């Protein structure tokens, strides 16, 4: 029984071929294709409004040099948002519950921000490893601590996203299982658990959106430190 709770996090496969790549590209099918007119329909207008809102929120912490990252950061935000929300549908798979995928997204982008800072302003980037006014005996320890905290940033990004989504999916499955099991014996208790399940689902929708935003926002803050 315990193993069945975690079966939802295993990558689906067909004839031994993993289908995770198909599930990752499926959100792109939900985006309407742009035509040769400025405004085609209400869906395109809503899409344009959402993209402008997301881009404005992500570019707020950055200066003008960081605005060249607007396309990749906005695309990443929409990609994570759609995958997280689609994963809440029944009989679906959420790729962002896989730590390997989240690290594959976090590590290259974090490394790109770090290399950007080392190329453009190496003194300032290396200066973050040693706060100003540090006593001389504490310099080796602080450099080691700051270097460690810098290197675990991509791991923290991936683990944060994976842990929050995994915990939410497990809670939903546990409470839904209890709701079905109690329906025949204790209908009133089953109704109460169904209410808890409904509220938890609303909470998970909010968590799915917040975690996608936090993932990209932290990348923008790392970028701001290096430009």
For the chain, list the strands marked E by DSSP: 13-14, 17-18
Q: Is the pLDDT of residue 1 over 50?
A: no
Q: How many Cβ atoms sit within 10 Å of the Cβ of residue 212?
A: 24
What are the structure tokens assigned to 26, written together? 């499926």
Q: HSE of 156 in the Cβ direction (CA atoms, 13 Å)? A: 12
Q: Is the pLDDT of residue 2 over 50?
A: no
Which comes out higher in pLDDT, residue 133 or 176?
176
The model's pLDDT over 189-200, given as tens digits with 9 standing for 90+, comes to 889 999 999 999
Q: Is the pLDDT of residue 37 over 80?
A: no
Spatial separation of the C-alpha atoms in residues 121 and 115, rounded to whole Å? 10
CA dihedral 66, 70, 71, 74 (to 10 degrees): 140
14 forms beta bridges with: 17
Q: pTM of the prediction?
A: 0.81
**Through-space distance between the first and last CA atoms of the chain, rounded to whole angstroms:** 51
- Find tokens 């004839």 and name the residue: 15
């Amino acid at each position: 029984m315990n193993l069945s709770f975690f079966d939802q996090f295993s990558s689906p496969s067909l004839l031994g071929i993993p289908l995770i790549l198909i599930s990752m590209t499926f959100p792109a099918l939900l985006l309407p294709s742009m035509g040769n007119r400025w405004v085609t329909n209400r869906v395109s207008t809503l899409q344009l409004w959402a993209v402008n809102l997301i881009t404005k929120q992500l570019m707020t912490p950055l200066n003008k040099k960081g605005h060249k990252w607007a396309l990749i950061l906005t695309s990443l935000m929409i990609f994570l948002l759609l995958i997280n929300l689609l994963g809440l549908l029944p009989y679906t798979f959420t790729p962002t519950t896989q730590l390997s995928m989240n690290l594959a997204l976090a590590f290259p982008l974090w490394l790109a921000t770090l290399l950007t800072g080392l190329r453009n302003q190496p003194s300032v980037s290396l200066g973050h490893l040693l706060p100003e006014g540090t006593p001389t005996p504490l310099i080796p320890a602080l450099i080691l601590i700051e270097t460690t905290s810098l290197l675990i940033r991509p791991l923290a990004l991936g683990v944060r996203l994976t842990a929050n989504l995994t915990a939410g999916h497990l809670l939903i499955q546990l409470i839904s299982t209890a709701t079905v099991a109690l329906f025949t014996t204790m209908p009133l208790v089953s109704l109460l658990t169904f209410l808890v399940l409904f509220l938890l689902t609303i909470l998970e929708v909010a968590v799915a959106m917040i975690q996608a935003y936090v993932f990209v926002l932290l990348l923008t803050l790392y970028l701001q430190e290096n430009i």
